[in-house]
């Protein structure tokens, strides 16, 4: 009888403790909006060299699903109750992959999720993927220090900084997310054009 009473008391205490635990706050999950560009695929000569897109390096503040915002000065925060479907470096890597596929000049593509050997690798440091407020205005800022690397020995062949600032007319989260999509599209177009140009000059000769 005593053991039964102890068990019942323990069960009651467990239920009571569970009931007072704070409930997790619900949040909305956003994916990076689909590319809006209606430009036709490039008619340039398809390249024979292969390219791997690697996950971008980033600070802890950006290497997370949080939608980052700098409301003032150097304060880094995030939009409450919202998050990305993947960490920002993965979102942008996947957008770059989509950009190369749409462009069509580099058909031999892969990511670092695979183990395929490639002639070149494209990666780098994601410096900004956030909304920034300046006075009464706000802009989405996407900044990437891109690196083009030789596949077999990881030698850096070319580097360049890309930065896009997309002004926002609406500070609500859906409009902010749309701004991230537009900024990412612009940056992707620039990176693809640069990488193809560099690859044509720097890729190792393809064996017959």
Nearest CA to 102 out of 40, 161, 54 is that of: 40
Q: 28-35+42-202 domain in CATH 3.40.50.10610?
A: yes
More confident residue, 116 or 14: 116
pLDDT at 27: 84
Q: Residue written as tokens 């409301």?
A: 71
Average of pLDDT values for 23-52? 79
pLDDT at 10: 43
**What are the distances in angstroms from CA 206 to CA 80, 90, 92, 151, 200?**
50, 29, 29, 13, 11
Query: For the segment 147-173, what is each residue's pLDDT rounded down to a tens digit?
Result: 999 999 999 999 999 999 999 999 899
More confident residue, 26 or 35: 26
pTM for the full predicted model: 0.84
pLDDT at 34: 79
Under a CB-based contact definition with an 8 Å cutoff, are residues 55 and 112 in contact?
A: yes
Q: Is the pLDDT of residue 175 over 90?
A: yes
Q: Is the pLDDT of residue 17 over 90?
A: no
Query: For the segment 62-85, what is each residue's pLDDT rounded down to a tens digit?
Result: 999 999 999 999 999 999 999 999
């Amino acid at each position: 009888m005593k053991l039964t009473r102890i068990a019942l008391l323990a069960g009651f205490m467990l239920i009571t403790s569970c009931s007072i635990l704070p409930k997790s706050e619900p949040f909305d999950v956003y994916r990076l909006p689909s590319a809006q560009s209606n430009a036709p695929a490039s008619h340039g000569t398809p390249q024979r060299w292969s390219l791997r897109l690697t996950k971008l390096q980033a600070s802890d503040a950006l290497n997370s699903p949080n939608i980052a915002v700098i409301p003032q000065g150097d304060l880094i925060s995030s939009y409450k109750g919202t998050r990305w479907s993947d960490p920002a470096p993965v979102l942008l890597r996947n957008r770059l992959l989509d950009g190369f596929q749409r462009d069509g000049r580099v058909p031999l593509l892969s990511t670092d999720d695979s183990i395929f050997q490639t002639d070149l690798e494209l990666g780098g440091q994601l410096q900004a993927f956030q909304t920034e407020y300046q006075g009464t205005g706000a802009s989405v800022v996407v900044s990437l220090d891109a690196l083009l690397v030789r596949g077999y020995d990881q030698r850096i062949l070319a580097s360049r900084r890309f930065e896009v600032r997309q002004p926002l007319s609406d500070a609500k989260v859906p409009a902010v997310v749309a701004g991230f999509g537009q900024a990412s599209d612009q940056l992707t177009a620039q990176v693809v054009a640069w990488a193809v140009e560099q690859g044509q000059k720097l890729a190792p000769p393809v064996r017959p």
